[in-house]
Structure 1
């Protein structure tokens, strides 16, 4: 998670004192990287996934599950032992995460894809267009005639395909071998009872008065204590904003949910009341009463610590593009897909022991790390009423800017930038759009600063740049090459997805995104919609059952270069469905949407996730049908194509509603459990039974269909 510098962290007043120093030198470090690497080119598209896990401990006798706090210390040390000893070609790499019960696993080496002949030709065309500053309408016909006779096999292009899911399974098994008999490693987005009484092992209670989080519910012991960054982050966010986090989620209203739903903070505190003196109890009562006055909100679940957000798990994918131009293209074109993939991967229906009326964790993390002061949130100084600089969003939120040249018109929301740094970037020969992006990130203060890293060489290190960059947690992240790693190029990180209950589902989502990058990079697939519509989609995506019940703004029609359409039409391997779809695409081939504001808003329409993924309407052919055209236009061996189809079918069925999202499945399990009282409460026994089933699923003791049958049978008995 972010920059893990070794050293002694400064306290908040000292960190604040050096904020301008960090930002100024961070800009200098970016400029050095930009000048040195702006022309770097890599033919191979490298990429890798990141999966975050929770380690839980089962108390089978009492039907209770706790989060195991040894994950970030004992387990991580063992998992990193081979890497620390200098071993190479490892199957997996392990990194710490915010919570003491979390670990992050990645493949030992990035996967790589070499473009085929057609893609190389199209990429060369794109580079030539960039250099000449104009659109090259067509390519030589003989290029594609030659391709028909020398069609690449996708087997070599996608030789990673058989590794992705297998590697995910190996990662899980690596951890499992180190666990006690009553522990499990789970890929779950949220632990339903995090923040309730005694939810950790060893038993840990809150330090509300003098702790790092000052939380009523989430103890400091649950924060990773293997590296000072994590606890310091938590403390400095509270220090900067002037109070603990204020996270509010609407309660899911059931038949017996109190009306109105109003929490008693003191009763809910994670403290051992029997072991406290009357003075201590009185102090806790006073603090909780003060919080109620400031933060209690009718019909909402209140949370107050960074751990409620950063203690959730996710699935991320990082791509290394061929060059700076392609990285910017990927960043922009993947952005409209962020809300769609968030909704399809939704896995977070419960928080702090309650069923909530959202399915995703995104807004929880956004509020959990919101370090804005009251005046920055309101744009008004609360002491005198004067107008001050307003920062519209938390530093964890959706992106605000497209950054690829030519896409400026889609940036239709107000964006705050640091004008001094913007001019410094312009003077350093950074183009206005990229300069605006970096200057926007640099409106933030550094949150953690190590005294050993105050004064560093801006030409060889990039810690100050990464300090700001890594604490802007957004749906997409544009990542320049590190200053001290020549083998790494320009990268883009896709960040909105929630972790899934099975390795197969995680692999399906990852491979779906990878395949879409082939369309985007090779065929210049244009998915852009106004940024305001992306923001609207982000809010919609978090709603309950958004994957099947909501509509999202999306680009209508599909435009591909005429040369690509002709190649599809001529390809000898097209199946009947692909031929038909190819004819639909050819109707709009080469017809560009005029880049005016009016045309920009007319270019998008509200569609269901099913229409976006599978097509079926007049406005969009569907991403999966389009991928099938792409795949069927090349010769693919039967085994590879079969596996691709299996993954694409999982995504297609999720969008159709044939397969529930993890959030919907968990919600159904809880609400149909025999111990559920229709009061929106997830008690210990309900969570225990649910996680026993999920652990069995992830340990291959049951199949996904068995879990669906369990829920179906509970529902039948409940009714």
Structure 2
């Protein structure tokens, strides 16, 4: 969510008055940072994940389930005994007072055996949270969103919306559900005030046999579109949960490569991890959270949306990246950027700030700062970066470039931001491991995934549609073995199955990963676990296993209380979350995660390399790891 600064937050009028000052010093801080860190290098990749959890309270007698607004109490109790943890974990606030974010206490290293620790670490985090809870009535789940968030009485303790309040002014979402840390209500209020009205979120409803046609809930609210589920608060987006992956590269150039190459993959992974088909108690025609959050933090005025101008924002603060960091040719969307900031960055004559980097930063600076604290205005631009981060951390994109913080030994990082939270730790660990393995395989084989950014943006739109894994096609590059960034791309539209598993002409991402790990001498346990992770991705892509969104939708559609009217009732939600809780705690769900099998070959402690050379598709080309060709 960003850096959690403590202090007195400034309202929008005071922040607006300081906008030029914050931007000027933010640019200076970035220049000084890049000049200081230009020689920073590391041996080997480091990485880590961030998982966001939802807290729940059950009323079994009434068959009700509530979002449990107990974050602060849990964090206070966790802080008291964190030092006694078997595996130290970091827990922090998130936007909702019903959310907690967790990360490993230290990053994982560039070692295959670390992949064994991912699921162990995730299980440990969940265990530590569960130790605080009444196991009969409370639980913590990794769901992307709560299906009835915004419905009457969805939270505990009970709270009512405050349409005339000074924060969200929502008719659905109580301000008590916003985490009391000053950053979160301040962001909510300032986005609304800068915009000049509440945010407007409209998600197309899933039309079933008995769904009203047209579907109109609020005829007197102009912002509420027909045949859409209407929401009006930042909490509907930022109250969603996800997994975010941070990669610390060996140097700046590797960070740029990771940023660009992984950006192309973000919509593919989002479609595979789709987990959010229900909003405010209705089945919807989308499977992902992305556009909901985008609308939830859109602070542009009506005039700015209608007439953005040459340097105005064409999209929300939450969007797809607008330029690559190493390829001018494929950065084809011509993003708006602050010309004065761009000029200042180039004239600073800092080795690390080339034209593409300057344009990337200047694009961030077309926005106004929307979060500032009275005690953090007059800063030392040589040692502080708060003003740079006030813009950097409120531009939420599918990838984020993160320079080293001053005064630390942290390196150049990029953040992968499109993975939706899955029900089980196994699924979450699989997505994390898949991204790590892909990043290593891409680097090892010098893969080239570049396609025009305009096509990446189209892919992001398609990835959110209902059953996108099975029904949509995505632009992807066939000649990924070409090592030159600017070579002519052979781009076609492929299904997720073809992109992940390959076809007669394209090998598939998983075969690239298999070719990479086939060269490694792996412990049997590690190799078996990696196999199970890759298998999950392949079977989700082929449709043999359901995405989380498809499973949630199927549960509702087949529930005995469902009336074919798109409504997800309180009792249906109770049954759904009880089932999710049981699956989280070990109940088999073969349609979602398949049947996990451990090999009985206990005498073979190392994985046979030739086992990766068996192709699920006999017509798919085989990768020659030495010549780097198919």
Answer whether TM exceeds 0.5 for this pair.
yes
Which residue of structure 1 aligns with residue 242 of structure 2? 314
Deviations 1:633-666 (A, max 9, x none): 2332333221111110011111011110110000
Name the structure 1 match of 2:417. 495
In structure 2, C-alpha distance between the alignment counterparts of 1:110 and 1:244, rounded to whole Å:
39
Partner of 2:348: 428
CA positional deviation for 1:76: 1.4
Query: Is residue 450–residue 485 contact of structure 2 (8 Å, CA) maintained in 1?
Result: no
Distance across 2 between alignment mates of 1:332 and 1:388: 25
Structure 2 SS opposite 1:53: strand
Distance 2:310 2:266 in 1: 32
Equivalences for 1:176-575 in 2 at 5 Å? Answer: 176-180=130-134, 181-225=136-180, 227-264=181-218, 289=220, 292=221, 294-379=222-307, 390-404=312-326, 407-429=327-349, 430-485=353-408, 487-559=409-481
3-state SS of 2:419 partner: coil
Please tell me whether residue 64 in structure 1 is matched to residue 64 in structure 2: yes
Distance of aligned partners of 1:58 and 1:594 in 2 relative to their CA distance in 1, 3 Å threshold: closer
Aligned in 2, Cα 1:59/1:263: closer, same or farther, shift over 3 Å? Answer: same
| 1:61 counterpart SS class | coil
- Bigger share in helix: 1
Deviation at 1:446, TM superposition (A): 1.0
Deviation at 1:593, TM superposition (A): 7.9
**Alignment partner, residue 663 of structure 1:** 549
Provide the rounded CA distance (Å) in 2 between the counterparts of 1:220 and 1:57. Answer: 19
Deviations 1:454-494 (A, max 9, x none): 10111111111111100000000000001121x10100000
Which residue is 1:132 aligned to?
A: none
Q: What per-residue deviation string (whole Å, max 9, x for no partner) do you get for residues 521-544 of structure 1?
A: 232211010000000000000000
Q: Deviations over 1:203-222 (max 9, x none)?
A: 01101012310101011000
1:703 and 2:588 matched: yes
522, 535, 538: which one aligns with 1:636: 522
Offset of 1:88 from its aligned partner? 9.8
- The Cα of 1:376 is off from its aligned counterpart by 1.2
Report the CA distance shift for 1:100/1:612 in structure 2 as closer, same or farther (over 3 A). same
Q: Which runs of 5+ in 2 are unaligned?
A: 595-630
- Counterparts of 2:91 and 2:227 in 1: how far apart (Å)? 40
Alignment pair present for 1:647 and 2:533: yes
SS in 2 for 1:496: strand
Q: Is the 8 A contact 1:211 1:220 kept in 2?
A: no
- DSSP-derived class of the 2:329 partner: helix
Query: For structure 1, which runs of at least 5 residues remain unmatched after alignment?
Result: 114-156, 266-288, 381-386, 562-591, 710-719
**Residues 244, 416 of structure 2: 8 Å contact kept:** yes
Note if contact 2:547-2:592 (Cα within 8 Å) is conserved in structure 1.
no
Question: Do 2:55 and 2:68's aligned partners in 1 also have CA atoms closer than 8 Å?
Answer: yes
Q: Give runs of aligned pairs for residues 155-194 of structure 1, distance below 5 A.
A: 157-180=111-134, 181-194=136-149
CA contact (8 A) 2:546 2:592 kept: no
State the Cα distance separating 1:390 from its structure 2 match: 3.7
Q: How does 1:53-132 map to 2 (within 5 A)?
A: 53-71=53-71, 73-82=72-81, 90-113=87-110
Q: CA RMSD in A?
A: 1.7
Closer, same or farther: CA 328–481 of 1 in aligned 2, 3 Å: same
Closer, same or farther: CA 452–89 of 1 in aligned 2, 3 Å: farther
Map Cα deviations across residues 419-453 of structure 1 (whole Å, 9 max, x no partner): 11111100112211100000001111111110000
Deviation at 1:708, TM superposition (A): 8.8
Distance 1:177 1:508 in 2: 25
What is the deviation of 1:388? 7.8
Q: 1:326 to 1:82 in 2, by over 3 A?
A: farther
1:609 match: 496
Please report how far the alpha carbon of residue 108 of structure 1 lies from its aligned counterpart in structure 2 after TM superposition. Answer: 1.2
Q: Distance in 1 between matches of 2:233 and 2:370?
A: 16
SS at structure 2 position matched to 1:203: coil
Task: Note the C-alpha offset of 1:250.
Answer: 0.4
Supply the distance in 1 between the matched residues of 2:346 and 2:158 (Cα, whole angstroms): 54
Deviations 1:99-153 (A, max 9, x none): 000000111110011xxxxxxxxxxxxxxxxxxxxxxxxxxxxxxxxxxxxxxxx
Over residues 84-105 of structure 1, what are the superposed CA-to-partner deviations in whole Å (9 max), with x where a residue is unaligned?
Answer: x7x8995311110000000001
Where does residue 618 of structure 2 map in the other structure? Answer: none
Q: Residue 355 of structure 1 contacts residue 682 of structure 1 at CA under 8 Å; is this kept in 2?
A: yes
1:622 aligns to 2:475 (yes or no): no
What SS does the aligned partner of 2:52 have?
A: strand
Deviation at 1:28, TM superposition (A): 0.7
Superposition deviation, residue 351 in structure 1:
0.3
| Cα distance in structure 1, aligned partners of 2:125 and 2:52 | 11
Aligned length, in residue pairs: 590
Residues in 1 aligned to 2:546 and 2:338: alpha-carbon distance in whole angstroms: 44
Offset at residue 264 of structure 1 (A): 3.1
With normalisation by structure 2, the TM-score equals 0.91
1:322-363 Cα offsets, whole Å, 9 max, x none, are 001000110000011000000000000000010000000000
Q: Is the 8 A contact 2:536 2:593 kept in 1?
A: no
User: Cα 1:393–1:593, aligned 2, differ >3 Å: closer, same or farther?
Assistant: closer
Closer, same or farther in 2 for the Cα pair 1:352/1:318, shift >3 Å? same
Is the contact between residue 277 and residue 549 of structure 2 (CA under 8 Å) also seen in structure 1? yes
Distance 1:467 1:80 in 2: 27
Q: How many Å apart are 1:628 and its aligned residue?
A: 1.0
User: Counterpart of 1:683?
Assistant: 569
2:240 alignment partner, SS class: coil
Give CA deviations for 1:10-47 in whole Å, capped at 9, x if unaligned: 11100100011111111111111100111211002110
The CA distance in 1 between the partners of 2:31 and 2:294, in whole Å, is 29
Conserved? CA contact 1:43–1:322, under 8 Å: yes
Shift of the alpha carbon at 1:703?
1.7
